Amino acid sequence: MALDPLSDVRAAALASTHAPDLRAPRSLRERAVGALLAGAAAVSVLTTIGIVVVLVREAASFFAEISPARFLLDGEWTPLFADKHFGIWPLVAGTLLTTGIAIAVALPLGLLAAIYLSELASDRVRRWVKPALELLAGVPTVVYGYLALSFITPGLQHVVPGLAGFNALGAGIAMGVMILPLIASLSEDALYAVPAALREGAYALGATKLGAVFRVVVPAAASGIGAAAILGVARAVGETMIVAIAAGQQPRLTLDPRVPVETMTAYIAQVSLGDTPHGTLEYRTIFAVGLALFLLTLALNVLSHRLRRRLKGAAA
Amino acid sequence: MTTPHPSVAPPADSAGWLRTGHTRHEAAFRALCKLAIALPLCLLVVLGGSLVVEAWPRLGASFVTSYPSRFAESAGILPALVGTALLMGLTALFAIPLGVGAAVYLEEYAQKTRWSALLELNITTLAGVPSILYGLLGLELFVRVMDLGRSLVAGAATLALLLLPMLITVSREALRTVPRELREACFALGADRAATLRRVVLPMCMPGVLTGIILSLSRAIGETAPLITIGALGYVAFLPTSLGSAFTALPIQIFNWVSRPQAAFRANAAAAIVVLLVLMLLMNGVALWLRKRLQKRITG
């Protein structure tokens, strides 16, 4: 059937001059490389499975000794003392308190920054403000811990009477500065995704710039801003070094920001620093706390993800 | 990238329920916004200044070349620096093939199936897991089950897993910058996926991938919590001799000094922080320089 007997030869010659190595033997190499790469991708799945298995297994042996009722109903957390109590609420309270302070700092500032960058600022201003804000997220958390302990808390002690050297307030403020860029940049994305037609419509109805921002753009972006805030909460809940350094290590069922508290993460770090032997009940407590931490951050992340997806669906 | 909406401007004369802000109000609101941005930045500048002032007396050659000591004045960060360098090298060795490989798989090989959707979801989930939980995984898996002990290699493996989600994300972004037409042209020349990847796609996206790798590592260099959890030591008076050695790292050393009540050790912590931040700035600088250089080579 060959109309041109030379065509195959020519094609081969062409291929060999222009792309000599591209015609190496295919299927085997192709499949091998594909399998190798799929293996690399599978490692990330194995990591997730590994985290869940490790936490669940050790936590299960913890709960075999300490009933979940004692974990959830006791109001004291003293597993390292002679008089042992295993109520997680003091750690949860410490976590919520520092996280609450962080969000109280980061949400208003981050939202104002986002509105400014998305709706009001000129291109030139945005170009240097955005990287400057990103810088805040790049500072290692151990450094924020040091700053909170050595500078923020002593500074606050002039203003807040009765503020202890270790406290939730200083740690919370440092954590707020840390998560501010995250909230600002995700909120800005949400504001920016609001179609220009909505703004134009508002202006056509006689809106001022601020009227359009607050009555139209911000409400339209509400679910995205909510997603940003929740992600900020998740980040603050999981943050370890700032609270381990500056918030103290005293589990305490309180919402007083002036006294030392301990968060779930700080407890895990505290036990890891000591020489708690493997297989003891004390050792297993960190996995029980870790499991609670994992479930809490997972729930927050899923919620945030859902909100963001809804936003995307609405914009499309 | 996003830009503001310059074409849309409110009419000068406006009325109705939307008219919540006059020009005066807008000026006030603009000022408030600027304050919200300036406040945290100023705080950081002031705190950074105090940090350098505190660190200044300790910053000298002997600080970098000495071992830690009970006496704050003669203590140094040599084991921590060496530990951090080895840790970063090993972490890169573990993380780069896995991270870039997974990214290539997702962008170039995977069909849009349930499996790839699961992978996507999994990476999002992993990115949200607090770093200290990676430490618990490392403690059980690497330190105990694989019996690596509280060693450099266990620390690096833990950090590598922690880095994976970020590394995969930045590598995928770099891969997406390679135009689809180039791949199609390759296939038209008879190349298979592997050859296309090696000859065209990877060389083209290399600047982006490298930049992403260095930026990810500059994040990992300050990670403290997972290393504490797997049991990196705060006081190490020797240099690591093998991959199985006990080790310390710069952030661990900082944490150790911060936790001591004496003011002299706080000054040491401040000085070590300055060193850590300088290292991070250097890495970021190298990333930017590399991106510029390699981009030039490819486009021109």
Residue of A147, A192, A238 with shortest CB distance to B47: A147
Q: Which residue of A has its CA nearest to B216?
A: A138
- Pairwise CB contact (< 8 Å): B132 & A132: no
Cβ contact B195–A273 (<8 Å): no
Cβ–Cβ of B280/A26 closer than 8 Å?
A: no
pLDDT in the model for residue A184: 95
pLDDT value of residue A254: 87
How many angstroms separate the CA atoms of A151 and A138, rounded?
Answer: 19
pTM for this predicted structure: 0.87
Question: What is the DSSP-derived secondary structure letter of residue A309?
Answer: H
Closest CA to A301 of A236, A222, A218, A220: A236
Location of structure tokens 């940003």: A228
Contact criterion met (CB below 8 Å) for A215 and B18: yes
Answer yes or no: are the C-beta atoms of B22 and A208 closer than 8 Å.
yes
Annotation: CATH topology of B71-299: MetI-like fold (1.10.3720)
Chain segment B126-144, per-residue pLDDT in tens: 999 999 999 999 999 999 8
Phi-psi map region of B251: left, alpha, beta (phi>0 left; psi -120 to 50 alpha): alpha
Kindly tell me if the per-residue pLDDT of B224 is higher than 70.
yes
**Which residues does chain A have within 8 Å of residue B158's beta carbon, measured at their own beta carbons?**
none
Q: How far apart are CA B30 and CA A116, in angstroms?
A: 7
Q: What is the CATH number of domain A89-315?
A: 1.10.3720.10
Q: Which residues of chain B have a CB within 8 Å of the CB of A210?
A: 20-21, 25-26, 29
- The residues with which B151 forms a beta bridge, in sequence order, are B246
Helix, strand, coil % over all residues of chain A, rounded to 5: 75, 0, 25
Mean pLDDT by runs of 10 across the 316 residues of chain A is 46 45 62 90 94 95 91 87 88 95 96 94 89 88 94 93 92 95 93 92 89 91 94 95 92 90 94 83 93 96 87 58
Name the A residues in 27-66 with CB < 8 Å from any B CB.
Answer: 29-30, 33-34, 36-41, 43-45, 47-48, 50-51, 54-55, 58
- DSSP codes joined into one string, A120-138: I--HHHHHHHHHHHHHHHH
In the block, tokens 């920016």 appear at A192
CA nearest neighbour of B205 among B180, B182, B171, B181: B171
Among candidates A105, A138, A100, which has minimal Cα distance to B40? A105
State phi, psi for B236 to the nearest 5 degrees.
-125, 115
Which residue in B has a C-alpha nearest to residue A230's C-alpha?
B128
User: Are A211 and B122 inside 8 Å of each other by CB?
Assistant: no
Name the residue facing A37 among B17, B101, B229 (closest C-beta).
B101
Predicted local distance difference test score (pLDDT) of residue A4? 47
B16-30, B36-50, B74-88, B234-248: the lowest-pLDDT one = B16-30
Residue B168's pLDDT is 95
Q: Any idea which residue has 């753009």 for tokens?
A: A217
Which residues have a Cβ under 8 Å from the Cβ of A59 and sit 6 or more positions away?
A284, A287, A288, A290, A291
Q: Where are the domains of chain A?
A: 89-315
> Is the pLDDT assigned to residue B282 strictly greater than 70?
yes
pLDDT at B10 over 70: no
Strand, helix or coil for residue B151: strand
B280 closest CA partner among B219, B211, B227, B212: B219
CA B261 – CA A165 distance, rounded (Å): 11
Specify the pLDDT at position A99. Answer: 97
State which residue of chain B sits closest to A173, comparing Cα positions.
B40
Residue A212 has its nearest CB partner, among B10, B194, B255, at: B10
Q: Residue B16, by phi and psi: left (phi above 0), alpha (psi -120 to 50) or beta?
A: left
**Separation in Å, CA B203 to CA A24, B175, B198, B208, B246:** 19, 10, 7, 10, 38
Residue A169 vs residue B76, higher pLDDT: A169
B265 residue type, one letter:
F
For the purposes of burial, counting CB atoms within 10 Å of the CB of A32, is it exposed (0-12), middle (13-18) or buried (19 or more)? exposed
In terms of Cα–Cα distance, which of B216, B177, B204, B170 is closest to B294?
B204
Query: What is the percent of chain B where pLDDT is above 70?
Result: 90
A56 contacts: CB under 8 Å, gap ≥ 6: A291
